[in-house]
Structure 1
Amino acid sequence: MSPNSESAAHFSPRLGESVQDNRYTILRKLGEGATATTWLIRDERIISDSKYVAAKILTAEATLDVDRGAVRELEFLEEIAKNAQERDEEGFEHLPILLDNFTITSPGGNRHLCLVQTLFSTSVSALRRSAPTKSLPVYMVRNILYMVLQALDVLHSSDIIHTDVKLDNILFTNALYSLDDALDIFLAENPAETDGDSPKSQPVPHKWTYETSAFHAERMTVALVDLGHAQRAGEQLTVDAFGEPALRAPEVILWSDIGPKIDIWAIGCLTFELLVGRWLFNPEDAQPDWSVEDDHLAKMMELTGQQFPDAMLARAKERDRYFDKNVPDLVPVKLEDAMANYKIPGLTEHEVRLAANFIRDCLKFDYKKRASAKQLINHPFLKNVFGC
């Protein structure tokens, strides 16, 4: 392996290289994020099915953060793997399962944590972006949300806050090449590609498209991945920022009462995004004394018709930063109107109404009134989940 000069840089194995006492063979790069790269590897100890898995290799800096306890991904993945063996809950089918972990040391002495996990395909984000309207059919959206909520129900019941629920972190399972023989053939017909000496990202494909029928969409399965920013509810937070800015709950911006319900707020935002192909909140900094966060909080009030509870503001560390200034006149917009304005084909008035109610239940300013994952699973909007 060839180390990078900086500890924050990615550590890339050579294709065909064996690691961990020759147990795993690196086959191709699957993807890359800010703190890790993911690789398709073959477990040479497995003779029967399921010899192909994924290896998430953290940067040296992220590995140090794991050692210091700032990043608790390994801890949470180990807990999920243990609970999956002890508890019979569907939610575990929609989470990554840790199969092995070890540390690789570069010639330069940098340590890189390697997390061997379930092999997945591409993201729901990629599928949404492939559609002409950048949206997905409502039957597909219901199915995806249902599975993600099952995953969150499992996490929240263990006091784990994901903190980074977004479409890039919702991956389709590897159903198309779930058998080793099928993946053997695919890899032989589609060899790994490089750009110079650097392997290109080549995720394992799936067969789904934005035009997949309701009947066939019943077979779609997804998982909520990447616990690299996850936190334990009720314990001291190890980072000072969470999630995609457009998906942040008000308590994250105000720094007040941060808990599992920030994941539910993100679900509400993603529901809108999946159905209409646009962000629910797209805040801007309009003038020097009006920040992106100011605009975000104002848009929250405009789209939900709510005011921030006094009790919430009293506990907010950043209250004076955002509320000690003149707020421009708000222009209330009903969620139903905001969704209907995009005139998405196939999205009926009835479904818009149900979806808007679902989103509102996710976007309560008071986190205690915000629906739980378990409650949302039984919401009327998801009543016909996995139905044609």
Structure 2
Amino acid sequence: MLILNSKQHGPSAQRKPQRFNLGGILKKNFAWKKSVNSLASTLDTVQLDYPSPAIAGIDAIPGSPPQRKSSGVLQAGLVFAGKSHGLVPSASSAFGDNYTTYPACLSDVLIPRSENAPMSSSESSADDTPFNTECISLLNSDLTSEMNMDNVFDSYFCCSKPASAESDVISFNEHSEEKITDYSILGYHPVKIGDEFTSDISRYRVLRKLGWGHFSTVWLCSSLISGQFVALKIVKLGKNYTEAALDEISILRLLQEDDKGYPVDDSPVVSLLDHFTIQGPNGTHIAMAFELMGENLLHLIFQNKSQKFAAASQKEPVSPYLLPVDTLRLIIFQLLQGTDYMHRHSVIHTDIKPENILITHKAEISGDIFPLKIPTKFQILPSQPLHQSTSAEEPIEIKVADLGNATFCNLHLSDHIQTRQYRAPEILLGHSWGALADVWSIGCLIFELLTGDYLFEPNLGASFTKDEDHLAQIIELLGVFPSMEYAQDCERYRKYFLDNNSLRHISKLKFWSLESVLEEKYKFDMADDNIKLLCDLLLKCLRYDLSERYDCGSLMAHPFFKKDAKFDQRECDELPNNNFNVPGFTCEEQAP
């Protein structure tokens, strides 16, 4: 959402803001947000051979992110031997041909970026990236890959070309997967199909790659003890990653056990089944075995956008809804339910977004999930998440996942939270924050599930930062500036505002209400009761004042979730808001 491409004054400044353009259904090209870059490697060669049995150290190296604040929970029992961070000599002769040394320059390919695309965090000024230092899975939330609409969906859904008879290399889209340079010091653990990993309670065999992120790679595995299928998450090396993984384990255990330590049935959060360590060529990695889930909501969004794009190309009638209303209602309610469950257990997710909401996989695991060709040497493989039917006959079920950045209501592990598009104003402005930061993210996600586009998509300008553009977009949508009473508690208010009615570097704003956006841009019928109710629900999530922002439990009683609900303004206005019952809903405080 851009206010103006150049923030110029004059008549041209009165046109509609260039808002909500990312991923537009009928646009030929669009910027696709993904974590496609990670810790930069300065090595001439990437070492993927197993060196000696010694374990590499994980102490911070020059240029590494500052330490994540740690709760100190579950951090005993891991011993790391010190080792220099230089390039390890090749040991392929000692360990056979299972691992290969790659020149970094062959795969460290920079993805072209259009002239108007946002700058990466490494190219923008330090003033513009105050939140990119400690929150390790958010380091690349501002990076953009430019992809052509003709192949974006195939590449995202991992439709790789089969390997040729002459080659042992399985093809993959290098722009959609992790980079080979990230398998160097402090990087990923090199995993091959057929690898086996042993914990205290099981032994897991790797069957297929499910996905990856800045934090880890994820693999479909079978337990050789129980026969159960699991998703094995193998975390990157590095002190920040290890501490975050240990904090995630402690938080998941808290959410999965009752007061007496017994497992909780039907938890709305993805279940952790096992955790252990893996010794790799560069050090010891944390591994976590989760219950097997299907694809995430981002896949669902892309799938439905692809279908709408194809239908529009054939000049077929297209509904403005990205998802059927009943599916939308079910997903939002379960998302509120899962987040409320965490909040009632004094846990804040801090990174609610489509990638972190998983669809329950109900289908049987069949033989077609196994790769037709298994490479003999390590190589990057295409991600192949388990697709799940979302037909109306089988109601969709979701669970909240990826608590690598989660924190406690009474002990914030980091203040650098939330992916850019879902970041709340209290985080941008340095206000106290609490559980209701998740609710702002849910509001942004509701819009994305409704339209397929980001609600807020800030850009870096010549005279303003992404944070200031982000604040301008929020003000334009909500139609009001933060109150002076709210501003007095914001550390960075004067950095962006001259007074309570003007931004420091963006003088021209074009207010465009949510109702007008949906009607004028997305062609929704504003006489539709569902749209009216959704607007009210969404705006209850997007309030500056944390005492006025609704909590998830209160929103679950919203009339939108009633069968055949009709819009009644009085009923919406009188919806009770019990956010004060949520521990730490506005700030870091002792839970009752």
For the superposition of Structure 1 and Structure 2, which TM-score range results when normalised by the shorter chain? 0.7 to 0.9
Q: Deviations 1:32-90 (Å, cap 9, x if unpaired)?
A: 0001000111112215xxx10111100012xx226546962111111122239758686
Q: Which secondary structure state, in structure 2, belongs to the residue aligned with residue 172 of structure 1?
A: strand
Q: Give the structure with higher Rg (CA).
A: 2
2:87 corresponds to = none
2:284 corresponds to = 111
Answer whether contact 1:256 1:316 (CA < 8 A) is retained: yes
Identity, in percent, stands at: 27
1:341 corresponds to = 520
Q: Offset at 1:234?
A: 2.8
Give the alignment of 1:359-374 within 5 angstroms. Answer: 359-374=538-553
Instruction: In structure 2, list runs of 5 or more residues that go unmatched.
Output: 1-47, 51-181, 310-321, 499-503, 565-592
Answer whether contact 1:137 1:346 (CA < 8 A) is retained: no
Answer whether contact 1:2 1:11 (CA < 8 A) is retained: no
Answer whether contact 1:121 1:171 (CA < 8 A) is retained: yes
Q: Say whether residues 1:38 and 2:214 are aligned partners.
A: no
Distance in 2 of aligned mates of 1:2 and 1:335: 54
Which one is further off, 308-317 or 65-74? Answer: 65-74
Distance in 2 of aligned mates of 1:365 and 1:2: 52
2:478 corresponds to = 304
Q: Offset at 1:341?
A: 2.2
Please, what TM-score do these two structures have when normalized by structure 1?
0.85
Q: 1:207 to 1:273 in 2, by over 3 A?
A: same
Answer whether contact 1:9 1:59 (CA < 8 A) is retained: yes
Give the alignment of 1:85-164 within 5 angstroms. Answer: 92=267, 94-108=268-282, 110-132=283-305, 133=308, 135-164=322-351
Q: Which secondary structure state, in structure 2, belongs to the residue aligned with residue 115 of structure 1?
A: strand
**Root-mean-square deviation (Å):** 2.8
2:194 corresponds to = 16
Q: Deviations 1:177-200 (Å, cap 9, x if unpaired)?
A: 2xxxxx143436x54666973332
2:61 corresponds to = none
1:253 corresponds to = 428
Q: Say whether residues 1:82 and 2:257 are aligned partners.
A: yes
Q: Say whether residues 1:233 and 2:399 are aligned partners.
A: no
Distance in 1 of aligned mates of 2:194 and 2:462: 53
Q: Which secondary structure state, in structure 1, belongs to the residue aligned with residue 417 of structure 2?
A: coil
> 1:330 is aligned with what amino acid?
L
> 2:349 is aligned with what amino acid?
H
Q: 1:11 to 1:352 in 2, by over 3 A?
A: same
Q: 1:122 to 1:254 in 2, by over 3 A?
A: same
Q: 1:14 to 1:367 in 2, by over 3 A?
A: same
1:285 corresponds to = 460
Q: Which secondary structure state, in structure 1, belongs to the residue aligned with residue 257 of structure 2?
A: helix
Distance in 1 of aligned mates of 2:483 and 2:245: 31
Q: Deviations 1:236-264 (Å, cap 9, x if unpaired)?
A: 442x4222211110011112112111110
Distance in 2 of aligned mates of 1:103 and 1:137: 43
Q: Deviations 1:176-226 (Å, cap 9, x if unpaired)?
A: 22xxxxx143436x5466697333211112122xxx33xx25x21111110
Q: Deviations 1:279-326 (Å, cap 9, x if unpaired)?
A: 1112223432x2221111111111112321333322222222111425
Q: 1:29 to 1:335 in 2, by over 3 A?
A: same
Instruction: In structure 1, list runs of 5 or more residues that go unmatched.
Output: 178-182
Answer whether contact 1:264 1:371 (CA < 8 A) is retained: yes
1:180 corresponds to = none
Q: 1:236 to 1:295 in 2, by over 3 A?
A: same
Q: 1:87 to 1:355 in 2, by over 3 A?
A: farther
Give the alignment of 1:177-192 within 5 angstroms. Answer: 177=364, 183-187=365-369, 191=372
